Chains A and B, each alone.
Chain A
Amino acid sequence: MSDSIAIDLRNVTKRFGDVTAVDNISLQIRDGEFFSMLGPSGCGKTSTLRMIAGFEYPSLGQIYIHGREMGHIPPYQRPVNTVFQSYALFPHMTVEQNVAFGLQMKGVDKASIPGRVKEALEMVRLGSFGARRPRQMSGGQQQRVALARALVNHPEVLLLDEPLGALDQKLRKEMQLELKGLQERLGITFIFVTHDQEEALTMSDRIAVMSQGNILQVGSPTEIYERPICRFVADFIGETNFIDGTVREANGTHATLATEEGLHVQGYTPRPVQPGQSATISIRPEKARLLPVNGNSTPAANTMPVRVERVSYIGSDTRILVRAHGGRSLSVWEQNTLSTLDREAYWEAGDEAVLACPVDNALVLTE
């Protein structure tokens, strides 16, 4: 099951006049996978989804759904369903009629429709709302109707275009869990479009990070966060400190960078680099450590002297902004593992310290 390919995009390009919305992407999405497409607004996520659904046809390239080339097959003949960001519920129909619509269109046996509609509505916990009109429901409820309306058809693939975008923060978190649970129970392939990295990390089996019509990286949430392959991905997912410099030495997996201040920092290289090339060190704030200054010893590898600028205690963490000698600001997050009110246990503005980062926690990235 998990080895067969649900969606296969081969060198797909989409142009609107002069705009290239999707630029030669290739992508395979597995059966039963919760797959997210993540990227800033305008990077081509919706265009990709609309090509899979059949609302747009690729300018170049092919799309296969379960091995079948889609070509110019219209949306109503494709084995996928979409949950639209705006929900697009039919305002002149009741909730039940909305959910039944797809079954009626497919010519499903009339007698079985009410049962399946009821089942779908119960699945999204709207069992008693069937007789209402969409406008009599809250945003979250409408969202769930849209979900039921799509899922009742048992699509092979469900496409979701920023389905939680219009919900408030709390509802959003609830719906994330609900969606994920539903997907696991039903085993349907979900292709989930979002510009919210946290949402993508929480829910996905795999994530494709997109920028300007290109796919930069495809991987599990851990891979994307821990081993971003370029500066854009490291920047877009989570928070990080960047230090620019020039590659001094490089072997297959590690490289040493000389920073503008003359410091040497060593890190892991997800993609090979050449000496002399300019590159960026990325250090996640929670992966750096602040150590007290130890006057005697010679500086260890990957350390730099800093001064504490600002300390924000936020309960679980303490977020510390430090300034390196060259004037560069960096942030360090420390987990508050001790339960104490002792002021000695915390950093204070003005403290001198050493910032340390294990070699494998620093990444040497190129554009």
Chain B
Amino acid sequence: MIEASSKTQARPTVRPGFRLGTISWGNWALGTHALLVYLFLYVPIAVLVLFSFTQDQFGTRWTGFTFDWYARLFSNDRLMGAALNTLYVALASTVASTVLGTLLAMAMERTRFRARPAVDGLLYLPIVIPEIVMALSLLAFFAFFFDIIEFVTGATLRRSLTTVTLAHIAFSISFVVVVVRTSLKNFDMRLEEAAADLGANGWKTFWRITFPLILPGIIGGALLAFTLSLDDFIISLFLSGPGTSLLPVEVYGRVKRAITPEINAISTLMLMLSMTLVFLSQVLQRRR
């Protein structure tokens, strides 16, 4: 008994000086580093939020607290219209790309054929090609497509919220697939066999077993699609039609003239929205 306990006590004291020494120095350096990185990341955001409450009309100096800019924001039809457009496009493209992407991910995880590596590679292309190229290709595609429609039916189509939404779906799908595939890879296929063994057909197995278990991945993919759509600039600039501009494009147009606390205010609201979504998704995922 005594021997055993002295043995177990001996282990942690093998090289105490060395470990304590390096760790305290290392901890200090790492801690400072982390603090600096966090400051670097968050000070600009804090400044933005702060200056959405300043009384200074240029929004670059602190001259006192006010909610005025938020009030003005809500009565600014152009900005509110752009915000609603953005929300509409983000929601629609998220729902569509999440459903399509999830199904695509399942198809790709479950089928084996010779050309699959090539098909896999093609899927990731939209993620790596420069966004400007993607935007131009979509623009060219829609122009071509509209010409055909006009030729065949005589109807003239224009760029609109629908074209932006389709474009956002197109670039979001790849991201959704990547995220959902990761959770499908971690999904134990034997659970589906177990469900089938217990009498569940394919439909019930999906909804009772597969879906709940890959839901964190689907939520992650949807969240990514939503934020990508929310702050997309280049594709939105190229593909939205006249009078249907999205928030990032609208903000950019205003900032070219002057930064106003109104812009800070709407940016703060967008920030809150993103943070709420991330928070909600984490709460949801922890509950499982």
> B198-232: contact bitstring with A at CB < 8 Å (1 yes, 0 no)?
11110010001100110000000000000000000
- How many chain-B residues does the 8 Å CB contact rule pick out? 18
Q: Which residue of A lies closest to B199 (CB)?
A: A105
Say which residue of A90, A92, A106 sits within 8 Å of B194 (CB atoms).
A90
Residues of B271-288 at the interface with A, using a CB-CB cut-off of 8 Å, are: 288
Interchain pairs with CB closer than 8 A, number: 60
- How many chain-A residues does the 8 Å CB contact rule pick out? 24
Interface presence of B68 (CB below 8 A):
no
Contacts of A189 in B (CB 8 A): none
A317 to B: closest C-beta gap in Å: 34
Contact flag A102-B191 (CB < 8 Å), given A90-B209, A91-B213: no
Interface presence of A149 (CB below 8 A):
yes
Interface presence of A232 (CB below 8 A):
no
> A105-135: contact bitstring with B at CB < 8 Å (1 yes, 0 no)?
1100000000000000000000000000000
Contact flag A55-B200 (CB < 8 Å), given A88-B188, A90-B209: no
Say which residue of B190, B193, B208, B288 sits within 8 Å of A101 (CB atoms).
B208
Q: Which residue of A lies closest to B194 (CB)?
A: A88
B70 to A: closest C-beta gap in Å: 42
CA distance A75 to B199 in the complex (A): 7
Residues of A161-192 at the interface with B, using a CB-CB cut-off of 8 Å, are: none
Contact flag A76-B199 (CB < 8 Å), given A90-B209, A91-B213, A92-B288: yes
Do A75 and B204 touch (CB < 8 A)?
A: no
CA distance A92 to B213 in the complex (A): 7
CA distance A106 to B195 in the complex (A): 12
A141 to B: closest C-beta gap in Å: 17
Contacts of A105 in B (CB 8 A): 195, 198-200, 204
Is chain B's binding surface mostly helix, strand, loop or mixed? helix
Do A86 and B198 touch (CB < 8 A)?
A: no
Do A101 and B196 touch (CB < 8 A)?
A: no
Say which residue of A55, A80, A91 sits within 8 Å of B193 (CB atoms).
A55
Contacts of A82 in B (CB 8 A): 193-194, 197
Q: Which residue of B lies closest to A146 (CB)?
A: B194
Contact flag A149-B212 (CB < 8 Å), given A55-B193, A75-B193, A90-B191: no
Q: Which residue of B lies closest to A149 (CB)?
A: B198
Contacts of A102 in B (CB 8 A): 198-199
Contact flag A88-B190 (CB < 8 Å), given A101-B195, A101-B208: yes
Say which residue of A74, A89, A91, A153 sits within 8 Å of B196 (CB atoms).
A74
Residues of B133-152 at the interface with A, using a CB-CB cut-off of 8 Å, are: none
Across the A-B interface, the 8 shortest Cβ-Cβ residue pairs:
A105-B199, A102-B198, A88-B194, A75-B196, A88-B190, A105-B200, A82-B197, A76-B199
List chain B positions with a Cβ less than 8 A from chain A.
188, 190-191, 193-201, 204, 208-209, 212-213, 288
- Contacts A90-B195, A153-B199 aside, 16 further interface pairs with beta carbons under 8 A come to A75-B196, A75-B197, A76-B197, A76-B198, A76-B199, A82-B197, A84-B194, A86-B188, A88-B190, A88-B194, A90-B194, A92-B212, A101-B195, A101-B198, A105-B195, A105-B200
